[in-house]
Structure 1
Amino acid sequence: MKSIGLSLLWALLPLLAQAETRQFQLTPSFKGATQVQFERLASDTGMGWQGQLQGAEGFTEALPDKCLPEQGNPEVVDAYTVDSTKPYLVVLCRWPVDHSGFDTYAIKGWEYRAFVYTWIADALVKDEAASQVLSGYEGNMAIYWINYHWYISRPLATQKLKERVQGRERDSLKLARRIVLERLKAKDTEAVSSYLSLRVAQLLHDEPLTVSNAPLYNDLGYALQEASWQASAYELFSKVERVVPERVVLKLNIADALWGLYKPSQAAGYYTAYIAAMQAAGKERLIPARAMERSRGNTR
Structure 2
Amino acid sequence: MKLDVVIQNALSVLNSLQLSSLTVRVYANGYIAIKKYLLNSNISEYTQDAMDMYVSYQQGRLEKGKIKVKQYRFIRRVAYTLYECQQTGSISGLPIKRSRDFSNLHFQNLYSSFFPLLERELAPKTIQTMKTYVYGFLIYLETKDIQTIKEISAKVIQSYIIDFASKRENPDLGNFVYALRKFWKYLNEAGKTELDAEYVIQKPAVHRKKVMPYFSKSQTDEILSAAKGEGVKKKRDYAMMALAANTGLRFVDISNLKLTDIDWSPTR
Q: TM over 0.5, yes or no?
A: no
Rg comparison, structure with higher value? 2
For Structure 1 versus Structure 2, the TM-score category normalised by the shorter chain is: under 0.3
TM-score, normalised to structure 1, is 0.24
TM-score, normalised to structure 2, is 0.26
Judging by fraction of residues, say which structure has more helix: 2
Judging by fraction of residues, say which structure has more strand: 1
